[in-house]
């Protein structure tokens, strides 16, 4: 997809993500959602742009403001809302809340409330993809840009870099 069709598709996805976030944020005020919610209104362009560049079999790992990435990768709006309400038909069975979303069927593997945690998980997945010779790419969103230094720079462990993995990694 390119040209005007790409721009229209990007705009449609931006609107879907933004309107979903705004609607959920408004309903959150009713205090019926039994989870702390971390909304990302205004941050949807990065999620939509990156997810449009990914293939369907590529995977995403992200941080605590994960609604945008979840929706941009193809996660269900209904399952996201159900998760925030703690319902069993939510994307994580109603137990993950706002920060532990998952939709492996569309390549959204996990999100976490711990800043920088998913960087180590995503690097481990990239190594596994390389070892299994999968041609997957992964995206590790790290909004705070504060990777867990012990997870990545532990001197007792081998140093893995983009070059040593030779995987298709997006930063």
In the block, residue with structure tokens 């609607």: 23
Q: pLDDT tens string for the chain (171 positions)?
A: 778 899 999 999 999 999 999 999 999 999 999 888 999 888 899 999 999 998 888 889 888 889 999 999 999 999 999 999 999 999 999 999 999 999 999 999 999 888 778 888 888 888 888 887 776 665 666 554 444 443 443 333 444 454 444 444 444
CATH 2.70.98.10 fits 3-170, yes or no: no
Nearest CA-CA partner of 55 in 105, 107, 102: 107
Residue 92: predicted pLDDT: 94
The whole model's pTM is what?
0.78
Quick check: 60 and 118 in contact, CB under 8 A?
Answer: no
């Amino acid at each position: 997809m390119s040209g005007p069709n790409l721009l229209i598709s990007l705009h449609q996805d931006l609107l879907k993500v933004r309107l979903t976030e705004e609607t959920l944020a408004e309903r959150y005020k009713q205090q019926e959602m039994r989870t702390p919610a971390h909304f990302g209104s205004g941050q949807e362009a990065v999620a939509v742009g990156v997810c449009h560049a990914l293939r369907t079999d590529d995977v995403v790992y992200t941080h605590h403001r994960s609604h945008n990435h979840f929706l941009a990768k193809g996660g269900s709006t209904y399952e996201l809302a159900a998760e925030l309400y703690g319902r069993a038909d939510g994307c994580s069975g109603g137990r993950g809340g706002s920060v532990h979303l998952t939709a492996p069927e569309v390549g959204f593997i996990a999100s976490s409330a711990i800043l920088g945690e998913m960087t180590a998980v995503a690097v481990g997945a990239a190594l596994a993809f390389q070892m299994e010779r999968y041609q997957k790419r992964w995206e590790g969103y790290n909004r705070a840009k504060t990777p867990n230094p012990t997870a990545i720079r532990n001197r007792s462990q081998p140093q893995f870099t983009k070059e040593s993995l030779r995987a298709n990694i997006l930063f």
